[in-house]
C-alpha cells in the first residue's frame, strides 16, 4: 500500500472520528443541561460515555500526525487529551 493511500485512509477515519467527537460533545452538553434541570442520575453515565468517545476521537485524530512525524502537533494533542481526561474522569 502506498503512503498516499494510507494517509487518505487515516484522513477518512479521522473525519469519522471527528464527527463522532462532535456528536459526543453535543450529547454531553445536552446531558449536562438536563442534569441541571431534572437531576436524573443516569445522565452521569451518558456524560462518561461521551467523554470516552471524545477522548477516543482525539486519539484517532492524532494518528495522522504520528504518521507525518509532526512532533509539535503530537505534543499539543497529548496535552489536550490529558486535560480532557482530567476534566471528565478526575
Q: Which residues are CB-contacts of 62 (< 8 A; sequence separation ≥ 6)?
A: 73, 74, 77, 78, 81
**16-48 per-position pLDDT tens digit:** 988 999 999 999 899 888 888 888 888 888 888
Length of the chain in residues, anyone? 90
- Return d(Cα 56, Cα 65) in angstroms, integer: 15
pLDDT tens readout for residues 40-89: 888 888 888 888 998 999 898 888 888 888 899 999 999 999 998 998 88
Whether this model's pTM surpasses 0.85: no
Amino acid at each position: 500500500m502506498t503512503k498516499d493511500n494510507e494517509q487518505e485512509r487515516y484522513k477518512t477515519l479521522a473525519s469519522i472520528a471527528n464527527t463522532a467527537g462532535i456528536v459526543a460533545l453535543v450529547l454531553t452538553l445536552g446531558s449536562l443541561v438536563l442534569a441541571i434541570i431534572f437531576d436524573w442520575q443516569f445522565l452521569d453515565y451518558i456524560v462518561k460515555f461521551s467523554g470516552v468517545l471524545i477522548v477516543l476521537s482525539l486519539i484517532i485524530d492524532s494518528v495522522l500526525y504520528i504518521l507525518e512525524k509532526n512532533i509539535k502537533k503530537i505534543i499539543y494533542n497529548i496535552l489536550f487529551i490529558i486535560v480532557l481526561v482530567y476534566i471528565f474522569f478526575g
